[in-house]
Structure formats: structure tokens, C-alpha cells
Structure 1
Amino acid sequence: MKRICNIALAIILLCGCDSFLDVTPKGKLLPEKVQDFDEMIGDSRNPSSINPLAEMCGDNLYMTEERLTGKMMSEQGKAYTWQEEFYLPEEDDATWNSAYEIIYTCNLVLQETPKAKEGSDADRARVMAEARVNRAFYYWYLHSCYAPAYAPETAAADLSVPLVLEPDLEAKVKRATSDKVVTQILEDLKNVAMDLPEESISVYHLPRMAAFGLAARVNLFFGNYDAALENAEEALKLNNKLVDYNTFSFKNEGKPSGGINNRPIPRESPEMIMYRSTSFQSILSSCCMSPELLDLFDTDADLRYKFNFTVLDRSGKPIDEPYPLFLQELDYNIGVPEMMLIKAECLARKKDPKALNVLNELRKKRIATDKYTDLPEVNGDKLLGVVLEERQRELVYSGVRFFDMKRLAKEGIYTRTLTRQFKETTYTLAPNSNRYMFPIAAKVRILNNGIEQNPR
């Protein structure tokens, strides 16, 4: 049945009809039961369609001019240098398209599940809750890429992304303002957690803690710190497991890329709150860590440096790059460490010294046991700085750094102007620059001339 549902959905998308009920392809079974929509919302593509292009825009990366020469005409090179356009007029924007494809599925499930055949009320509620959480996630991601940092005082005027809440493939929708998109994200996450089971039936379905975890993340980015703290704590009640990096070891010390003993893959991690994955795992293959990121690590004691980065190639020889390479696959899960860091940040914003206790609990699983010491006590505004540095170390290449830079620049906390050089041209990203927003691809604007381009 799952294969049939996927085929039917693909046909629907190609037909361009207003609703899947408008066409019944001969010989194909369209979804009509609650179980069908359950399988649709549990499809492996739903958590795995994130395009990680935002990684290229952030300050965790460095690309040599030689490497950049080969990438400069691609979307990766254009994003790395924050150019006017990321895509040629005939090219698709994978960030935009992938997210809206999943949003379409969510809208279809939400529209049709209430009148679907068979299934209990609890099953219907669970399926619809999953659709709402997934829709909230992808709208958060789109908003984070294409809109300015959220600010309540300007949200009614700031443009975000088109807000499509029905499965209408022909809709010509203009960009909604940030206040409307943010309100919808929060509305989708409101009171859905209890409709989800404590444990999901597969990694592609959502457990209860996923709703709390995503609510914690989005409320942090929208400046709702009390709500973020409350939701992070609810998520941690359901899962507070931490993987101990002290149990890790290389399968071959001389060839770190050969694998790490005892390290779970992201899809099976005990730390997982909400499974998310990226559609472009190789995006960092031309990049090394930035010198600024390297300076944040105690390279002798911090096992996150030891097991996440390397200065050796696959054959065990020293790399030619000036800075270490990323060793692991991208982990885009919302996890226990992020919940702890959200909790610590919210406490630090209240100047509550218990924020350090949260950080120390995490660091005990990340710092070599024989070199571990608690963080020194700090007070006032310095406390938040300590938390944010730990957040950058722990959540490196997890899909949030560029968005962190954006929100913290809006607050006046992140004040760096980034520069990147290619031949005779210097590219810059200043705090609160319009370059913190992705440009809307030309192909999107051509297909819908009501879509307004972001200022550059």
C-alpha cells in the first residue's frame, strides 16, 4: 500500500490538479483510508528533505581559493560569497522546492484525513498532529532562510515566504508577512504533543517529544524564551540520554575517516528528539572548518574536535587544506544536547547561574575524563556568552548556525562582519545585512510574478 500511495502522490503532483480528488488515474489506488494517510505522513522523504545550503553562508566554514574556483558558478559558491543570485533562471531552488513539496503533503493529509475511511479518532488525531509538526518545521526552515530575523516590532511589515495551507498546486500566493508565518508555525505546534505517542512506530514518524523539541527551537528563534524553556524541559522529561564521547575510539587511529567505534549514526542516536536529515550530505566536501571555529575548541581535551574533525585524508596522509576537515555526516536531528543548550540559554538570559550546571552536565560527556573541569563561574552578560560559545561547538554543522548568527546580530550580540576573498573581489556579510536572507530564485519569480524578491 505504501508504494501505491507514493505512486499516486507522484501522479497527483505531476497532474497539477487543485486536489487529489480531482483525478482518479485508471488502475491506481488513491489514498482513502486513515492508514493510507498515516503511511503518507510517515514517508522517509518527510524528515529528509532539508537542503543544507545555509551551512555555506555561516562562519563555521572556510574554502580555499582553489576550491572556490571550482564552486564559484554553483549555488554552493554563490551562497558562500552571499551573491545577488544563487541560481540561474533555469535552475530549481532545492531549499524552496523540497520544503514546499513536504508542505503540500502535510496540507493534503490535514485536509483529507478527517473524512478518510476507517481508523480510530486517536489514529486520525495522531496523523494530523504529525502533519502539523512537519509543516511547522518546514515553514520554520523556509522562514529562517528567506526572511529577516524575527522582530515583533517589524514582523507585520517584514516579508517571509508564501503561506500555503491547502493542497492547491495552482495557487499563486504572494509572500506573507513574518507575523503571519510565525503565528501559523506556533499554531501548528499548539496542543499537538499529546496527540502523538511517547514512542513512534518508526524513525520516520514523530514521537511526542518531537513536538516539544521543535516548539523549544522555534520559540528560541522567535524570542519567546519562557516558552522555549518550558518546551525544552518537557522534551527532556521524555528523553535526557547523552552519548558519552569518552566511549568512542577510532577503528584505525592512523585513518580517522575509517570509522568510530560506539558512535551511533544520527538515525539511531539515543540523543534524538526529532529525526531530521539533509538531502545533500556532501555539501561540506570542499570546505574545512574556519579558523574562528578552530579557536573555539580546546583541541587537546574536547572530544568533539577529536571525533568530528581531522587533518588526515582517507589514506592517512596529512591534508593539503589549511584547517581541519569535517569527519562525520551531517546530523540535523533535534536532540537532547540542543534541548540542554536551549535550557541553558534561557536561564542565562535570566542571569540564572544554573545555566552553567546544564552546560557542565553536557560537557562531562564531551570532554576527555582525565582533562575535564567544570566551567568557571561567571555572572551577568558573560554567562550568555559562555552558553553561546558552547552552543556553537556542540551544534556545529547541524543546520542552525547561520540562523543563530542572524538572530544574534539582530540583538546586537553577534557583531562580526564576515569577509571572503575570491581573486580581486571581496565579499562581505555585515550584521543585519540583507545578505542574511536567501535571494528568491528567478525560476520561482518567473512561475509566480507575485513573489517579490528580497533586497540585496
Structure 2
Amino acid sequence: MKTNKIIYAIIGAVCLVSTSCNDYLNILPTGKKIPTSYSDFEALLRDESGVHSVPVRQASMLLNDFFVSASTLSFERLSEVNYNWKESDNRIVFNNADESTYYQGYASISTCNLLIEYAPNMTDATELQKNQLVATSKVIRALNYYTLANYYAATYDVGTAETLKSVPLIESANIEAPHKQVTIQELYDFMISDIEQALPTLSNQGLTVLHPGKGAAHTLLARIYLQMENYPKALEHAQKALAIKNELYDWNAYYESEKARLENPTLYTRKLTPLNHNYVETYYFRHGTSPNFPSSETSVRVDRAARFETRDSKFASRWKLRTVGNDTYYYSMMTGYYNTHGLTTAEAYLIEAECLARTNKVSDAMNVLNKVRKTRILPDAYQDLSASTIVDAVKLIQRTKQNEFIQSIVPFADLRRLNKDPQYATTLTKTENGAQLSLSPSSHLWIMPFPQGAIENPGNGTIEQNVNK
């Protein structure tokens, strides 16, 4: 779904094309055209690179959710520290090389702010159209803040949320407006308020997959409440989302249709991905690898691939083992655009499953989990999973969820949440160049440092680092 671009030099757009984004809060939103009509404003939400793409590369790097060559790590110092869990190195010094999460996140927020502030006065639009455009922008803005909060700040904890700092809360498109680095609690309250204000106006499905509707809004609320460990509210919204749309894609059928290509050990021909804008599970589409042109997915480490279930058709459809020179990894078998960072029915199901388990409905939780697995695990290997305890059920659900949303913010946010509880806390381990490495659940590396440019040029406000190094 590539769209015709209208040139607006708004804050975020300038950041994405300029050689330096350090002054992102000091750039006036002037341009070749001032949006006035409904078509002008609505076109802003079809800017897929500026609005619907916020990468989380360093989070995936920390989880080792993809393969990175030694040659790449040799010149990407920040990536090398996160990938090899070098706790003694100061990432703040190196964080002027991968600032895209921060600046693309706030670029998308700036577009949403522009719409929320000025769309009510647009021409050639009904009141419903105006209100729905504002509501859509509020959901997208909330999702951006969720990503930023779970990247640059500590995970939500009821004991510390009212005191620990989160990220700058910017609500205005006016670059002269003051902003504040709010607490974690304040930001979560803001996200929930944004979505709750939007819900009454949204249609069940948005105008396009780039326009989140009620299904997307409920799924995002479920994600937020799950992070807050408010399981009844997360369950309520996951089930509301599934009442609107509950389809699952049959990855087993896809694998069978491509079996000859996928099981040929010497054939690496790529095919268009089903994870595109038309993916049947989509409530809201948000780009993965690249919003600008069709591309392959990032390769996966061999030890990370081992954590997928045997005969996982979704994994086997996307990646195949390959050796190139001294490197062995799972190579992408698809090309196109990927709904890696969006909101889907699969996420709503897996949130529902965990919340059912957490409220001691273990059997019901496993039924939901198995409903998803039946579309992912090939019939010759499939067996229903069962659990006798809440802890066992949550671990099984998380295994599927970590794999389902690999290379998105979801696994990173979930592990940070689970690491607070000794029953679920995970120490990551690996062997790298003959050395045994590990990452503890309490490591400071689970919080990404703000980019140097943001600290040095905070605009009309202040920003404090949330991590020492």
C-alpha cells in the first residue's frame, strides 16, 4: 500500500531526511503546502515511513533475535555492546549511531499531534470524518509512546511507576510548546486516556489497515494493561478485540503450498510474504523491515531458531538454514512488506490466554493457546499442550508469543515484565566465538539509553537519562 506523498516539512519528516536530527524540537513545521482539507490531513496518515514505522533494532539486538555478522559488529559499537551483553561498556557514548527508534517515534507522534490539533478545523469533511481522523491519530500516538516507554524507560512496576522517569510527553505540534519528561505512571495514564477517548468514535475496522479501528484500539489497551499486570482489564480488551475480528492465518496451508521450495536444501528463491497489508490477522499494519521498498526479513541465529517448536510452519515458511562462508544462520525466504510491529488477532489471542491463566483458568488458557498453535504447527507434529499450574501455562504461552512476534517490541517488553518475577525471570545465555556469555534479568542493559542528540538538544524541556550506561 504505497501512497502518493504530499510534501509537508513537519517535525518528523524533516528528521527523517536531514543529515542530523539533533535539533528535532527546534524545526518549525513549515512547508510547501499547509494542510487544510480532509484529503490533505488524511494523506498524512498514509505516510508509511514517517508514521507507521518505528524500528526497535537494539531491543532485538539485545535479545539476539536475529543474526549479526562479526564484520557488522566491528563497526557498530552500540550493536556490539548489546549483542554481546557487554555490561561494562558505556552505551551512552556510542548512542549516536542508532537513534532511529527515538527520532522516528517522535516523528510519528508529531504527525499525530498535528492532526489532533488542527484536523477539527479541516475543510470538506463531516464531523464524523474529523472525529475519526483525530481518534485514529490518538491510537497511533499511544502506540508510539508504548514503544518508546518500553525501550528507553524501566518497565512498569506499581511500586516505582509514580517516581521513575519515562520519556518526554509531547502533545503539541507547536515546537515552542513546553514538554516534560513524565513519570512512567503519567505516561501509561496518558496512553490509556488517549485510547479511551478514541474508542467511541472509531469504527470496528479503520478506513484502511493504516487506520486503526476499534479492534486495534482494544488490542493496544490489552497490551498496555498486560504490561501493567492488570490482567482482568487486559483480558476484557483482548476479548473485545476478538469479538470484532478473530481470524487466524493458516500457516500450515501456506507451508504445504510451498513445500517443494521450502524443503529443497539448495534452493533459496524468495516469494512474496503473506505478512503484508492484506494479512488476515491484521487490526493495524505497522512496518517491520523497511517501509520504503520490498525487502527480505532479517536472518535468525541458529540458537534462536532452536527455541521455536518442532515443525513450526510459520517459522519454516519464513527462514531456511544456510551457510555462507564462515557464517551459518536462517536465511529469509520471503520478500515484501511485513506487519511486524502492528496489532493482530494472534496477539489478542495470546494476551487472552495469559490473562486466563493468570486468573486461574488454566484449562481455558490452554484452549486459546492451542487454537493459535493449530494454525502454526504442522499436523504431523501437532499435539495439544496442557498445563497443571499457572506458571507452566504462562511459560508455554510465552514460548509461542516470543516466537510469534520475534523482532518486534513485544518479546522485549514481555521479558522485561516477566523478569520482575523470579518464577519467570530469564537469564539469556549463548556461546560466541568460544566464550560463554549471559545476560541477567536484572541487567541495566534492559533499558536503552536516550540518544546523545536528544540529551544535548531537548527543545523546550529537559531530558534525563534513565540508565547509567
TM over 0.5: yes
Equivalent position of 2:73 in the other structure: 71
Deviations 1:178-225 (A, max 9, x none): 111111111111142332223333332223211112112122112221
Q: Quick check: 1:46–1:134 contact (8 Å CA) kept in 2?
A: no
SS in 2 for 1:210: helix
SS in 1 for 2:348: helix
Q: Quick check: 1:213–1:339 contact (8 Å CA) kept in 2?
A: yes
Using the alignment, how far apart are the partners of 1:444 and 1:59 within structure 2?
A: 26
2:112 pairs with 1:112: no
Compare 349-358 and 10-19 and name the one that shifted more: 10-19
1:129 Cα deviation from its structure 2 partner: 0.5
Using the alignment, how far apart are the partners of 2:386 and 2:33 within structure 1?
A: 63
1:250 Cα deviation from its structure 2 partner: 4.1
Q: How does 1:3-42 map to 2 (within 5 A)?
A: 5-7=6-8, 9=10, 20=29, 28-42=32-46
1:390 Cα deviation from its structure 2 partner: 2.0
Select 1:336's aligned residue among 335, 339, 345.
Answer: 345
- Compared CA separation, residues 358 and 175, structure 1 to 2 (3 A): same
Q: Which amino acid aligns with 1:324?
A: Y
Equivalent position of 1:258 in the other structure: 269
- Compared CA separation, residues 256 and 414, structure 1 to 2 (3 A): farther
Equivalent position of 1:440 in the other structure: 450
Select 1:409's aligned residue among 412, 419, 433.
Answer: 419
Using the alignment, how far apart are the partners of 2:26 and 2:64 within structure 1?
A: 43
Equivalent position of 2:381 in the other structure: 371
Using the alignment, how far apart are the partners of 1:422 and 1:295 within structure 2?
A: 16
SS in 2 for 1:311: strand
Q: Quick check: 1:125–1:195 contact (8 Å CA) kept in 2?
A: yes
Equivalent position of 2:286 in the other structure: 276
Q: Quick check: 1:215–1:228 contact (8 Å CA) kept in 2?
A: yes
Q: How does 1:26-425 map to 2 (within 5 A)?
A: 28-53=32-57, 54-61=59-66, 63=68, 67-74=69-76, 75-82=78-85, 83-85=89-91, 88=94, 91=97, 93-170=99-176, 173-248=179-254, 249-250=258-259, 252=261, 253-254=263-264, 255=266, 257-259=268-270, 264-278=274-288, 280=290, 285=298, 288-289=300-301, 291=303, 293-299=304-310, 301-312=311-322, 320-328=326-334, 331-352=340-361, 353-418=363-428
Q: TM-score w.r.t. structure 2 length?
A: 0.83
SS in 1 for 2:322: coil
- Structure 2, unmatched stretches of 5+, are 16-23
- Compared CA separation, residues 85 and 427, structure 1 to 2 (3 A): farther
1:56 Cα deviation from its structure 2 partner: 0.7
1:60 Cα deviation from its structure 2 partner: 3.4
Q: How many residues align?
A: 439
Q: Quick check: 1:68–1:422 contact (8 Å CA) kept in 2?
A: no
Using the alignment, how far apart are the partners of 1:153 and 1:108 within structure 2?
A: 35
Q: Quick check: 2:115–2:134 contact (8 Å CA) kept in 1?
A: yes
1:344 Cα deviation from its structure 2 partner: 0.3
Q: Quick check: 2:38–2:122 contact (8 Å CA) kept in 1?
A: yes
Compare 51-60 and 326-335 and name the one that shifted more: 326-335
Using the alignment, how far apart are the partners of 1:378 and 1:438 within structure 2?
A: 37
Using the alignment, how far apart are the partners of 1:3 and 1:356 within structure 2?
A: 45
SS in 2 for 1:167: coil
Using the alignment, how far apart are the partners of 1:416 and 1:343 within structure 2?
A: 22
Q: Which amino acid aligns with 2:351?
A: I
1:86 Cα deviation from its structure 2 partner: 6.2
Q: Which amino acid aligns with 2:300?
A: C
Q: Which amino acid aligns with 2:270?
A: G
Q: Which amino acid aligns with 1:346?
A: C
Identity %: 26
Q: Quick check: 1:417–1:430 contact (8 Å CA) kept in 2?
A: yes
- Compared CA separation, residues 46 and 125, structure 1 to 2 (3 A): farther
Q: TM-score w.r.t. structure 1 length?
A: 0.85
Deviations 1:388-421 (A, max 9, x none): 2222232223332122111110223443333567
1:295 Cα deviation from its structure 2 partner: 3.9
Equivalent position of 2:462 in the other structure: 450
Using the alignment, how far apart are the partners of 1:11 and 1:49 within structure 2?
A: 12
- Structure 1, unmatched stretches of 5+, are none
SS in 1 for 2:182: strand
Deviations 1:304-358 (A, max 9, x none): 3422331136xxxx88545534544652232111111000000011121101111
SS in 1 for 2:341: coil
1:78 Cα deviation from its structure 2 partner: 3.5
1:171 Cα deviation from its structure 2 partner: 5.1
1:278 Cα deviation from its structure 2 partner: 2.9
SS in 1 for 2:143: helix
Compare 40-49 and 5-14 and name the one that shifted more: 5-14
Using the alignment, how far apart are the partners of 1:5 and 1:30 within structure 2?
A: 10
Using the alignment, how far apart are the partners of 1:127 and 1:30 within structure 2?
A: 17
Compare 359-368 and 198-207 and name the one that shifted more: 198-207
